[in-house]
């Protein structure tokens, strides 16, 4: 295991909210991430590097120890599984809900409901827990198109304001999980790099607490 500490960040919406939080915790990329196509960055802290990944790849990097720590949405963690990972901190950013949704006012017609989603494991588990027979269809994007195109009766997707659903004639139905962004740590790294990881977790914890007065 290398001496340096690698923190894997999720690209996109989460990244834009993560960087200010990291800055509050005293960790900054050494250069402007937006100005370069680089994905691996030095930081102001010696031996701490940032790597920017597709959100769904973050748990894989951390689980396998290629990164020591990661920042990932709970939706991604629920779908991926958290074996080999500690989840010490809720960063309380990019909050949203994982929900079922369908065409407004429409009753699910089939006895065996067709569900389109990119969260196939979460969806299979949730429908089974509800005692609803479901055929889960994996999609990679534009879930809200599936009921309109008669590919599915329902979708399982992230809902924030609900505007995307409404714009497509759909309504949110059941809440599966409330989602926010979490800090995850490789279990072996947590033991072997404890002295380096703990202060960073503590500074992040203070930064989160400073933003959300309780």
Binding site for ligand AMP (CB under 6 A): 13, 73, 94, 96, 157-164
What order do you get walking across the sheet with 96-103 strand by strand?
A: 134-138, 113-117, 154-159, 96-103, 170-179
Query: Smallest distance, Å, CB 162 to ligand AMP?
Result: 5
For residue 47, the 8-state DSSP code is T
- CB of 93 or CB of 204, closer to ligand AMP: 93
Closer of 60 and 164 to ligand AMP (Cβ): 164
**Cβ nearer to ligand AMP, comparing 65 with 162:** 162
> Residues 78, 181: contact at Cβ < 8 Å?
no
Least distance from ligand AMP to the Cβ atom of residue 145, Å: 11
- What DSSP assignment string belongs to 190-206? HHHTHHHHHHHHHHHHH
H or E element, residue 125: helix 120-129
Instruction: Give the nearest distance from C-beta 102 to ligand AMP in angstroms.
Output: 15
Q: How many angstroms separate the CA atoms of 91 and 144, rounded?
A: 28
Residue 154: CB minimum distance to ligand AMP, A: 15
Instruction: Please identify, using beta-carbon distances, which residue of 6 and 91 lies nearer to ligand AMP.
Output: 91
Quick one: 49 or 118, whose CB is closer to ligand AMP? Answer: 118
Name beta bridge partners: 177.
98
Q: How far is the CB of 199 from ligand AMP (least distance, A)?
A: 28
Q: What is the DSSP letter of 133?
A: -
44: three-class secondary structure by DSSP: coil
Q: Smallest distance from the beta carbon of 144 to ligand AMP, in angstroms?
A: 7
Q: Quote the CA–CA distance of 164 and 144 in Å, as a whole number.
A: 8
CA angle, 119 as apex, 63 and 132 as ends, to 5°? Answer: 130
Residue 82 or 158: the one with the smaller Cβ distance to ligand AMP is 158
């Amino acid at each position: 295991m290398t001496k340096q500490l690698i923190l894997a960040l999720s690209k996109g919406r989460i990244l834009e909210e993560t960087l200010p939080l990291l800055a509050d915790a005293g960790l900054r990329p050494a250069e402007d991430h937006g100005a370069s196509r680089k994905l691996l960055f030095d930081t102001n802290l010696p031996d701490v590097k940032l790597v920017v990944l597709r959100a769904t790849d973050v748990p894989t990097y951390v689980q396998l120890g290629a990164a020591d720590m990661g920042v990932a949405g709970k939706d991604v963690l629920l779908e991926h599984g958290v074996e080999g990972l500690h989840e010490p901190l809720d960063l309380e950013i990019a909050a949203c809900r994982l929900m079922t949704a369908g065409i407004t006012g429409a009753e699910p017609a089939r006895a065996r409901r067709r569900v389109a989603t990119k969260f196939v494991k979460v969806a299979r588990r949730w429908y089974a827990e509800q005692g609803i027979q479901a055929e889960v269809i994996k999609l990679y994007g534009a879930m809200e198109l599936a009921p309109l195109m008669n590919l599915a009766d329902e979708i399982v997707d992230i809902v924030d304001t609900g505007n995307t659903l409404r714009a497509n004639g759909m309504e949110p139905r059941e809440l599966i999980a409330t989602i926010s962004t979490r800090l995850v740590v490789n279990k072996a790294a947590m033991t072997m790099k404890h002295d380096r990881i703990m202060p960073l977790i503590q500074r992040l914890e203070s930064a989160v607490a400073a933003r959300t007065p309780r």
